[in-house]
Amino acid sequence: MLPAAEARLPAEGLVLDVGGATNRIPRADVVMDVLPSADVVRDVCDREPWPFADGHFDFAVCAHTLEDLRDPVWVCSELQRVARAGYVEVPSRLEEQAWGVHGEWAGWSHHRWLIDVTDEGIVFGHKSHAVHREGNHFPRGFHATLTAERRVQWLWWEGSFAARERIFTGIEEHDAWLRAPVDAHSHEVRGWRLRRKRS
């Protein structure tokens, strides 16, 4: 979780941290995770309502968890049910589509989703092997130029937010979606390559 975001967490009220067992935020009153170190040990995707009443928490944090899960849309719905407001943080497409972040592939090996946070909410797209195809990812080393803020996306929400899966009907549509951020930031890549060549 970005330090600036952690500093903005409410000083009072009951706070739930979903998925924070390995990196618990100090402000959390309850951590729910599948790992045994959590306060509430739970598979958050099991399609059973979480063991809290509607609006039980004043605030919920879900940072660097949704991209790992098999059913992040369900988790988003439960976040909104059990909390009145919250903060979500996920990897940016800039990091998740950069070659060499975590090995000889694009992004993090264990992440299932590429995520777009927009004014309308959160959209999850399947992270298929097509991301490794030339033109569908950023080059090796580009991720090292990203600031901490550009490596992530976030959403502060109150009351509710939209969350859905993006469905693709063909590989052309999927490739176009993968190429979109790469094309949009091609000027940065060109500048980075030029500076690297000069140094």
pLDDT at 33: 98
Sorting pLDDT into bands at 50, 70 and 90, what band is 197? Answer: confident
pLDDT at 120: 87
- Backbone angles phi and psi of 6, in degrees to 5: -60, -35
pLDDT at 162: 98
The number of distinct structural domains making up the chain is 1
* Domain of 166, in residue numbers: 3-198
pLDDT tens digits along 151-177: 999 999 999 999 999 999 999 999 999
Sorting pLDDT into bands at 50, 70 and 90, what band is 82? Answer: very high
CATH value at residue 131: 3.40.50
The larger pLDDT score, comparing residue 128 to residue 194, is at 128
Q: In three state form, how does the secondary structure of the chain look?
A: CCHHHHHCCCCCCCEEEECCCCCCCCCCCEEEECCCCCCEECCCCCCCCCCCCCCCECEEEEECCHHHCCCHHHHHHHHHHHECEEEEEEECHHHHCEECCCCCCECCCCCCEEEEEECCEEEEEECCHHHHCCCCCECCCHHHHCCCHHHEEEEEEECCCEEEEECCCCHHHHHHHHHHHHHHCHHHHHHHHHHHHHC
User: What does pTM read for this prediction?
Assistant: 0.94
Sorting pLDDT into bands at 50, 70 and 90, what band is 195? Answer: confident
pLDDT at 190 over 90: no
Q: How many CA atoms lie within 13 A of 188 on its CB side?
A: 15
pLDDT at 198 over 80: no
CA atoms of 88 and 66, how far apart (whole Å): 9
